[in-house]
């Protein structure tokens, strides 16, 4: 069985930088899908890194996290049921469209409800990752896949001298689980980018977003959107992804 390998030469990653739109910070008008994932695919969607979860120990749904931190006791979480962003949008009468994000709840309510445990930023929940790879497997088969970790995802997870300009690994699609658990603390978790050698699809999990962006064909897009264990939302290259 071929083991996953770290590739010191980052050439295989260069196509992503060449096919994404650079952010113009002098005339910044928001972060968009086109800034994070290669342009040129026919279909794009964002996939929530996990559901939200209810903290069963919190009965007052009007209490905000900002208020809770002012109280003089430790934070203890009793993790309960999962809640989708769509369910929350319905509950709080928020438009569920391409621009929907976790921040929409905070903007609508004036704060983040303490009873909600939000999806992790930059890290796909392991159960969600299993569903994603299950969908991608028939389209990828035994093709070599690449997994790239941006420097900001490595700091604190591996020895600082090894961070360099990022890490690139190559292996089979299933090897994503090997590197997910590799490293210090709680492992390297989700790659910043992962894609097959033929570049027929690409996933981007930015370090400060709680969703992953997919680019690929309509066939793969349809397979993701129809998976009832994934919360997928259609986006396009101009869809805003920043918090504003």
> How confident is residue 109, by pLDDT bands cut at 50, 70 and 90?
very high
Between 30 and 198, residue with greater pLDDT: 198
Between 124 and 79, residue with greater pLDDT: 124
Q: In which residue are the tokens 């089979």 written?
A: 172
Structure confidence at residue 105 (pLDDT): 95
Structure confidence at residue 188 (pLDDT): 64
In this prediction, residues 106-130 reach a mean pLDDT of: 94
Cα angle 57, 60, 62; round to 5: 135
Mean pLDDT (the chain) is: 89
In this prediction, residues 120-134 reach a mean pLDDT of: 94
Report the run of H or E that residue 135 belongs to, with start and end: helix 126-140
In this prediction, residues 60-71 reach a mean pLDDT of: 80
The length of the chain, given as a count of residues: 244
Structure confidence at residue 1 (pLDDT): 37
Structure confidence at residue 233 (pLDDT): 98
Lookup: tokens for 201: 């699809």
Is 0.85 topped by the overall pTM?
yes
CA dist list (Å): 93 to 90, 96, 116, 143, 220:
5, 9, 17, 44, 31
> How confident is residue 15, by pLDDT bands cut at 50, 70 and 90?
very high
Domain ranges (residues) in the chain: 5-48+122-235, 52-117
In this prediction, residues 226-231 reach a mean pLDDT of: 97
Structure confidence at residue 3 (pLDDT): 57
Distance of alpha carbon 191 from the chain centroid = 9
- CB burial class (10 A; 0-12, 13-18, 19+) of residue 149? buried
Structure confidence at residue 53 (pLDDT): 97
Q: What distance in Å separates the CA atoms of residue 61 and residue 92, rounded to the nearest whole number?
A: 12
Say whether pLDDT at 223 is over 90.
Answer: yes
In this prediction, residues 225-241 reach a mean pLDDT of: 97
Between 140 and 23, residue with greater pLDDT: 140
Say whether pLDDT at 185 is over 60.
Answer: no
- Cα of first residue to Cα of last residue in the chain, in angstroms, is 46
The residues with which 46 forms a beta bridge, in sequence order, are 213, 233
Between 17 and 188, residue with greater pLDDT: 17
Q: What distance in Å separates the CA atoms of residue 174 and residue 167, rounded to the nearest whole number?
A: 18
Express as a percent the part of the chain with pLDDT over 70.
88
Say whether pLDDT at 65 is over 50.
Answer: yes
How is 176-239 classified by DSSP, letter by letter? HHHHHT-SSTT---S-SEEEETT-S-EEE--TT-SEEEEEE-HHHHHHHHT-TTS-EEEE-TT-
């Amino acid at each position: 069985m071929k083991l996953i390998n770290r590739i010191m030469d980052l050439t295989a990653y260069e196509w992503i930088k060449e096919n994404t739109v650079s952010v113009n910070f002098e005339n910044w008008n928001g972060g968009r899908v086109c800034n994070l994932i290669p342009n040129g695919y026919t279909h794009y969607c964002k996939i929530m890194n996990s559901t939200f979860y209810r903290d069963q120990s919190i009965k007052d749904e009007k209490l905000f996290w900002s208020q809770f931190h002012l109280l003089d006791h430790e934070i203890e979480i009793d993790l309960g049921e999962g809640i989708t962003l769509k369910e929350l949008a319905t509950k709080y009468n928020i438009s569920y469209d391409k621009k929907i994000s976790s921040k929409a709840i905070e903007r609508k309510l004036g704060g983040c409800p303490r009873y909600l445990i939000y999806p992790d930023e930059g890290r796909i929940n392991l159960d969600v990752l299993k569903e994603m790879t299950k969908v991608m497997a028939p389209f990828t088969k035994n093709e070599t896949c690449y997994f790239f970790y941006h420097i900001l995802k490595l700091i604190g997870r591996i020895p600082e001298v090894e961070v360099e300009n990022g890490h690139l690994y190559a292996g089979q699609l299933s090897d994503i689980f090997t590197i997910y658990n590799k490293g210090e603390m709680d492992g390297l978790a989700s790659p910043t980018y992962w894609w097959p050698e033929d570049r027929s699809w690409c996933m981007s999990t930015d370090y400060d977003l709680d969703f992953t962006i997919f680019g690929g064909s309509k066939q793969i897009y349809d397979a993701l959107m129809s998976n009832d264990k994934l919360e997928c939302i259609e986006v396009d290259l101009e869809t805003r992804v920043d918090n504003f």
